[in-house]
Structure 1
């Protein structure tokens, strides 16, 4: 119930952190938790967020990977250090530590530890393939995949010659 309320209620610098603390999340001082943030509801006690950190809109933090009926499995910790900024729409997976003063680019999937003082995230999006069969109800996924035509990147030497 507390998680559901914290998911949508205003006051990301006071009420949301307070409710997550009641759930068992270890949260430092001056933490901002944006709306629609999902913090593992099975094991909130395995999440730590350091002082002066920000968790961006629609971020998800998981501490376990079991599915369906609960298995005998110990959850893993997720530790977010002090002065960390996690951009919107990030996914933080189990057994991850994000070092102090780091910034996680919006939309990043964090699967490994991030050292302190690091800007972490994928390169900017770019075209991957040309779509020749649209992904709609008229065409199945397999047909869509067969219709993809990879876009070949030019290496730096070819760019210089053109």
Structure 2
């Protein structure tokens, strides 16, 4: 019992350090590995990223993945599940990834999760999802972590549907005077 409590304290101390420490590709991933998270080579973990305190061993972040600042990765709700962020996937800032008991949430290889998304279901390979609610908007031909520039990434996006029509004109009462 004491070892279990000591392990939980150890996890929280190293987690608190990892959230504010420098070294997004060096020290932070190392601290999370010490906590039990499975983290591949070349992973980027931004400032203040929360990786499950109770079950860090249920989180896997594969080679080349990028997790932006203030993202929360929660591998349990009423029991542990598993969160896997595959190779070269990108999770934008302020995202929440939540997995239920006995389930696996997978952000597949090359997928991009837009800022502010709440993800409760797996995201297929190369898909770009955005919030309100998260929805597929394009297929990424060039994964964001390996693109040489944002222009290269954007040029490689293939829209999944036609753009939304233009909004209707503003009512007369809202138009500026001529």
Structure 2 Cα separation of the partners of residues 44 and 54 of structure 1? 17
Which 4+ residue blocks in structure 1 deviate beyond 6 angstroms?
Answer: none
Answer yes or no: is 1:104 the counterpart of 2:116.
Answer: no
2:128 is equivalent to residue 119 of structure 1? yes
Aligned to 2:174: none
CA positional deviation for 1:2: 0.7
Is this contact kept in 1: 2:15–2:53, CA < 8 A?
Answer: yes
Matched residues in 2 for 1:114 and 1:9: separation? 29
Partner of 1:83: 88
Aligned-pair distance for 1:123? Answer: 5.3
Aligned equivalents of 2:77 and 2:107: distance in 1?
Answer: 19
Q: What 5-or-longer segments of structure 2 have no aligned partner?
A: 1-12, 134-163, 172-178
Contact 2:115/2:131, CA 8 A, preserved across alignment: no
Task: Pick from 41, 50, 54 the counterpart of residue 62 of structure 2.
Answer: 50
TM-score, normalisation: structure 1: 0.71
TM-score by length of 2: 0.65
Question: What's the counterpart of residue 31 of structure 1?
Answer: 43
Cα distance in 2 between the residues matched to 1:33 and 1:98: 15
Cα RMSD (Å) of the superposition?
Answer: 2.3
